[in-house]
Amino acid sequence: MHKKIIVYIPFNNMNVLGKGYIALTKEWIDKRISIFMNYTLKSLKNQTNQDFIAYVVYHVKSKSLIEQALLKYPSIPSNINFIAHDSYEKAVNEHIVRYKYFYEVHLHSDDMYHKTFIKQLKNYNHKDGTAVLICQNGYIYDSINNRLARYFNFSSSFNCFIYNVEDYIKGHKHKVEGWMGAIRLPNEKLRKPNYINHCHDINSAFVFETESKRNKIKDVWNDNQGAKALFGKEITYEKEKKKILEDYIGGE
């Protein structure tokens, strides 16, 4: 009963680029649930350690559209749930109350973690005072054109907030401002390439071609001193690309 891991997956409860209204439409919801099912859900099901709970958090106004969209797919595992944004905190508090630490893993609804990520967190012993574990090394993947490259982000959204359960239940939350907010907190960095940041046709916040124009350094996972984000070596050998993707979403 040492730590509880819960994966927080914002679906359409955030006003990304001021376009939150689009994310409440049937067209957007149907498309993004399809992406979730084909990528993010597979990544969660592919985790070698299944001792976690994942909440896909949607805006309460879209409840009926979410439920209609989910009817088109087979049932998802019991440890993965869609939940309205106004119910998330209550659900979390109920699950963590008997534990000492709460690890809140952040994952967007179109992205992926390496299959060993939950296992890594289960086995990890954080230092006193650490507020967040940050994943800087990973990949960028364009699923439209099947392009994959190494990627580095010094303050990525792929992170795990660490809370003392007693403090969290009393209302303590880490304050994160802007995309560089995580790195400003007391942190530890996980060196393994743990994430795939997914580019697709309705991802307005992250575009493969735009990112590919960043400084190209062959070994971005090690040669990144002073950089904010770097586009690295593109993986062009198809067997290597397939093997990497299988480590995140499993085989067919």
Judged against a pLDDT cut of 80, whether residue 15 lies above it is answered with no
Q: What are the sequence ranges of the domains in the chain?
A: 3-249
Confidence of residue 196 (pLDDT cuts 50, 70, 90): very high
pLDDT digits (tens, 9 = 90+) for 200-209: 765 556 667 7
**Which residue do the tokens 């393994």 mark?**
192
C-beta of residue 199 within 8 angstroms of C-beta of residue 207: yes
Judged against a pLDDT cut of 70, whether residue 103 lies above it is answered with yes
Q: What percent of the chain has pLDDT over 90?
A: 77
- Cα–Cα dist 213/220, whole Å: 14
Dihedral angle at the C-alpha atoms of 233, 238, 239, 244, nearest 10 degrees? Answer: 50
Cβ count near 225 (within 10 Å): 6
The structure tokens listed for 233 are 């070596």
- Residues in a beta bridge with 62: none
Range in 17-26, 103-112, 187-196, 242-251 the model is least confident about: 17-26
- Cα–Cα dist 248/127, whole Å: 28
Q: What is the DSSP string of 84-119?
A: EGGGHHHHHHHHHTT-SEEEEEE--TT-EE-TTHHH
C-beta of residue 132 within 8 angstroms of C-beta of residue 77: no
The whole-model pTM stands at 0.93
205 burial type by CB count under 10 A (0-12 exposed, 13-18 middle, 19+ buried): exposed
- In this predicted structure, what is the pLDDT of residue 1? 66
C-beta of residue 235 within 8 angstroms of C-beta of residue 250: no
The one-letter code for the residue type at 6 is I
C-beta of residue 151 within 8 angstroms of C-beta of residue 138: yes
- In this predicted structure, what is the pLDDT of residue 17? 44
- In this predicted structure, what is the pLDDT of residue 140? 93
pLDDT digits (tens, 9 = 90+) for 33-85: 999 999 999 999 999 999 999 999 999 999 999 999 999 999 999 999 999 99
- Cα–Cα dist 9/238, whole Å: 30
Could you please state the CATH topology (level 3) that the domain comprising 3-249 is classified under: Spore Coat Polysaccharide Biosynthesis Protein SpsA; Chain A (3.90.550)
